[in-house]
Each structure stands twice: as structure tokens, then as C-alpha cells.
Amino acid sequence: MIIPLEHKVFQLISEIVTVNDLQCYVIGGYVRDLLLKRPSKDIDIVVVGSGIDLAKTLARHIGKKGRISVYGNYGTAMLRYDDLEIEFVGARKESYRADSRNPSVENGTLADDQNRRDFTINALAISLNRETFGELLDPFNGLHDLEHKIIRTPLDPDVTYSDDPLRMMRAIRFSSQLGFAIEKKSFEAIKHNRQRINIISRERIIDELNKIVLSPKPSVGFDLLEKSGLLELIFPEFDRMKGVSVMENLRHKDNFRHTLQVLDKLAEKTDNLWLRWAAIMHDIAKPVTRKYVKGHGWTFYAHEFVGSKMVPEVFRRLQLPLGASMKYVQKLVLLHLRPIALVEEEVTDSAVRRLLFEAGDDIDDLMLLCEADITSKNDEKVKLYLNNFKLVRQKLREIEEKDAVRNFQPPVDGELIMKTFNIGPCREVGVIKNAIKEAILEGIIQNDYEQAYGLMLEKGRELGLKSD
Ligand code: CTP
């Protein structure tokens, strides 16, 4: 079977290997994605010989348009050309030790190189040699597995996963990302080998986990992580959400299932990784706050508050970034009950103003999360809630237009307070500032300078301060 390779760089490589009498192939993810019609800019080239030498020769031909980086320790080189990233490596044969994911490496043939790869769909290669240019080399029926959407390892799965346990995460990630099924034997091997995930660095694990979070239906990946026993090892707080308890015939919902439903619903609306993480974390404190109150039922008192406090420790352990994105997730977890409370009580202007003030520019994301959070099986109830949310959104727009509290800047600041009353930084400044903020949020005064100035004088007098 001949696969058309359109980019001119493949012809160029082919000419070089012909002149130098080398054998050379495109391999791995680029071939898989080409056959799946998923455009990719990452190309892996394998050559029987030195990948670095081939990359250097190609770089000389291309001249200024290409930029080469050589990684001598790994025997690889990367060439950036147009918008492509082309990685060159010599074909290798690898053998692994039990305690490490770093193999000992020897030079090998194309077949050796294909043998050491993770999945049949990732072991496909296309020839760049002149006589066979474009020919597909498929020793493990990867094309069949691509067509039938199967994740299968080229060797005995116990060997492939034990050699490099990150591949267990990759199998689940590809399954979630591409909608493929993991072959039964392979999944059994993931279960056996799951403890070996402990030798993999957390950075690499989180890379795969984030790809699962970003996949079209993330519950596919999380279900597989749970069933394989990997979830318990890499993200125990999430695993702990499973299950239902019953007391006096009252049961609470399975928070793991519920969270996955919320995540899937949200994934239909947004590719924002952190908003998806907020969905994962929104009820994370339910297991630790769960309490049965006699005659009342199950309660999860303050779970939004406790949950937002749990975010940093989870992010730290998973090695997710601890800056603005974490703060954003914390904020959404903390506020996730507020819009629904607005609906259930009365949608007063001041309650809406307070929510706008606290959520700031993240208000639209918060509303998306809250809408996804409605997972009742009762269609009528869902309709009612969604309709009420429409009213909340409308009210949010009206109040925002009128009062502009989304990015609240006090119309009278601390500097002015200190100058007016001729005082330095002290408790009274905070008291006055807070009184102004509260009055605006409660709708007692408008969000403008005149009224805020008036209130400042009044509060100052009450506190016994003198103005000039
Ligand atoms: N590979 C492997 N085992 C791993 C990682 C990678 O065998 N743990 C091989 C596979 O043949 C893979 C190739 O190296 O196709 C390139 O890996 P990488 O660029 O990490 O992934 P891709 O398969 O290209 O997929 P993606 O770009 O979606 O990560």
C-alpha cells in the first residue's frame, strides 16, 4: 500500500538517503495521524544509522530556513522547518530493567525499532527509500487496528507495559482521545502492572492525564483509569468519590459518576483545560464532609469551601501549575453553589451584584460549570433549572450594565481616605473602604465617586475622624 506524502521535505530526505545509501522511514504518531486524517506537525524519522548525521545533512541542504538542535546524549536531533518539528533518530533495539524506564540501547534494524514501540497503530512506518517511496510497513496489522479502533501492543502486553509503564496511561489516553477500545488482554496487563506507574515521573503522568481531561468525552479515560486501578494510585482524592451510602433508606448520589457527567457535559461546551479541572474538583470535598443527619438525610456541609482549600494540595501532588490557573480553579470550586442558590432563593439585585463582584471576569465560566452541574434524571427539573439560569444570566447582564461591579475598583480608594482625614494607614481606612464596598453591593449607593465620597465623610464622622 502506497501512502502519499505531500510535504516536499520527504522528497528532500529521500534524495539525501539515496545518495548516502541509507534506509529511512517516517514512523509513529505522524503516520497514525496521517491515516486518521488528523493533521500533525510532529514528524518522527528513523534511519538505520545515525539520526544526528542525517539531520545535519538535511539542515545543510535547507540552509537558513531550518533550525537544528542536537541531543548528543540521546542520539537524536530535531529540525524545525516551516511549521514542522522533525525528529531524527537511529533505529534501535532496546532492553529494559525492572527498576527503571530508561532502557539500554543498541543500534538495530527497522523491525527492531518497530518491535520496541508501544502500540500497533504507533508502529506503522512509511518508506522514504527511492524504490519504495510511500510504501506502508505494517508488521503488526496496525492498519487493521486503526480501522477497527483497537489499542493493541506489538509484543506481549505484559512486556510492553512493564518495559515502559507510562504506556498504560498512553493506552487509556489514546482510547479517550480517539474513541478506541483497549484489547482485553492488554487491559488485563494494565491491571497487573498498575503498581509500576510508581516509577514514572509525575510530569509525564500529568501530561497524559491532561490529554485525557481534554479528550472529547473525558469520562471514557477516567472510567478506564478507575477500572484498571490506576486512578487510585495517581489521583486518590478522585477515586475516593466512588460509591453510594444508604441510611434509613436514603441514599446520596455517586459523586464519582456525577462528576464525570458534569465533566462530559462541560466538555461539549469548552476546551478550557482549567474549567474542565474545575468540574473535576467541584465536589472533591464531598467524601470528607459527608454526614448523615437523622430525619433530614445526607449533607455535605461547606464542601465548596473545604474543596477549594483542597485544590492546592491536589495540584501540588499532581504537579499542576500553582499560579493563576490554580487560583481560578479554587475560585470556581468555592463559588459553584452560588448561582443555584440565587435561583432557589430570590434573585435580588444585591445577591447578583455580590456574585458578579466575587466571580469577576470568570462569571461566564462559572455559569457554564453550574449549568453542567445539573445532572438530574428528571427532565422537568433540568428544564426548570436551566430556565432559571437563563433568568440569572439576564439579571447578571442588566446589573453589569447598570452597576459595573464585575471588575470592581472602589470609586474612593485608601489614598483619598487618608488624605481627607489626614491619617496614616490604620484600621479606620479599612473600615471605611469596606463600608463603601458593602453599600455599593447592597445597592444603598451607586457605584460612583460623588455618592462614595459622601458616604466616606459620613463614616469618617461616625468614627470620630476630622476632615479639613
Ligand atoms: N512511543 C513509545 N512509547 C512511549 C512513547 C512513545 O513506544 N512511551 C513511540 C510510539 O511509536 C509513538 C512515538 O514513540 O508513536 C512518538 O511518541 P510521542 O511523540 O510521544 O507520541 P505520539 O504517538 O506521536 O502521539 P501524541 O503526539 O498524540 O503524543
C-alpha torsion 347→350→352→354, nearest 10? -140
* Residue with CA closest to ligand 1 atom 9: 117
pLDDT digits (tens, 9 = 90+) for 131-153: 999 999 999 999 999 999 999 99
48/380: higher pLDDT = 48
* Residue with CA closest to ligand 1 atom 25: 29
**DSSP letter, residue 332:** H
pLDDT of residue 345: 66
Does residue 22 have a pLDDT over 90? yes
Q: pLDDT class for 262, splitting at 50, 70, 90?
A: very high
Ligand 1 geometric centre to CA of 270 (Å):
26
* pLDDT > 70 in the chain, percent: 97
What's the mean pLDDT in 191-213? 97
Q: Ligand 1, residue 28: give the atom nearest the CA.
A: 15
Task: Give dist(CA 108, CA 443) in Å, integer.
Answer: 76
* pLDDT > 90 in the chain, percent: 74
pLDDT digits (tens, 9 = 90+) for 353-378: 889 999 999 999 999 999 999 988 88
* Residue with CA closest to ligand 1 atom 29: 29
Does residue 73 have a pLDDT over 70? yes
Take residue 13 and report the three cell numbers written for it. 530526505
pLDDT of residue 147: 97
Ligand 1 probe mutation, 118, 161, 204, most atoms within 8 A of CB:
118
Mean pLDDT of the chain: 92
392/194: higher pLDDT = 194
154 touches ligand 1 (CB under 6 Å): no
CATH label, 8-143, candidates 3.40.50.720, 2.60.40.10, 2.40.110.10, 3.30.460.10: 3.30.460.10
Does residue 349 have a pLDDT over 80? yes
Does residue 401 have a pLDDT over 70? yes
142 touches ligand 1 (CB under 6 Å): no
Task: Give dist(CA 226, CA 248) in Å, integer.
Answer: 29
Ligand 1 geometric centre to CA of 28 (Å):
6
Q: pLDDT class for 102, splitting at 50, 70, 90?
A: low
Residue 290's H or E segment, with its range, is strand 290-293
173 touches ligand 1 (CB under 6 Å): no
pLDDT of residue 99: 57
29 touches ligand 1 (CB under 6 Å): yes
CATH label, 149-234, candidates 3.40.50.150, 1.10.260.40, 1.10.110.30, 1.10.730.10: 1.10.110.30
Q: Ligand 1, residue 164: give the atom nearest the CA.
A: 8
Does residue 222 have a pLDDT over 70? yes
What's the mean pLDDT in 241-264? 89
Q: Ligand 1, residue 174: give the atom nearest the CA.
A: 28
Task: Give dist(CA 87, CA 42) in Å, integer.
Answer: 8
164 touches ligand 1 (CB under 6 Å): yes
Question: What is the number of other CB atoms lying within 10 angstroms of the CB of residue 64?
Answer: 5
The pTM assigned to this predicted structure is: 0.91
pLDDT of residue 388: 84
pLDDT digits (tens, 9 = 90+) for 26-37: 999 999 999 999
pLDDT of residue 101: 60
* Residue with CA closest to ligand 1 atom 13: 28
124 touches ligand 1 (CB under 6 Å): no
**200-237 burial string, b = 16+ CB within 10 Å, else e?**
beeeebbebbbbbbbbebbbbbbbbbbebbbbebbbeb
Q: Answer yes or no: are the C-beta atoms of 65 and 86 closer than 8 Å.
A: no
What's the mean pLDDT in 152-160? 95
Ligand 1 geometric centre to CA of 229 (Å):
23
Ligand 1 probe mutation, 117, 137, 159, 200, most atoms within 8 A of CB:
117
Q: pLDDT class for 399, splitting at 50, 70, 90?
A: confident
118 touches ligand 1 (CB under 6 Å): yes
410 touches ligand 1 (CB under 6 Å): no
Most confident of the ranges 263-267, 399-403, 410-414: 263-267
Rg over CA atoms, the chain: 29
pLDDT of residue 98: 57
User: Following DSSP, what letter does each residue of 214-253 receive, concatenated?
Assistant: TSSSHHHHHHHHHHHTHHHHH-HHHHTT----EETTEE--
Ligand 1 geometric centre to CA of 70 (Å):
19
Q: Ligand 1, residue 167: give the atom nearest the CA.
A: 8
- What are the structural domain ranges in the chain? 8-143, 149-234, 414-462
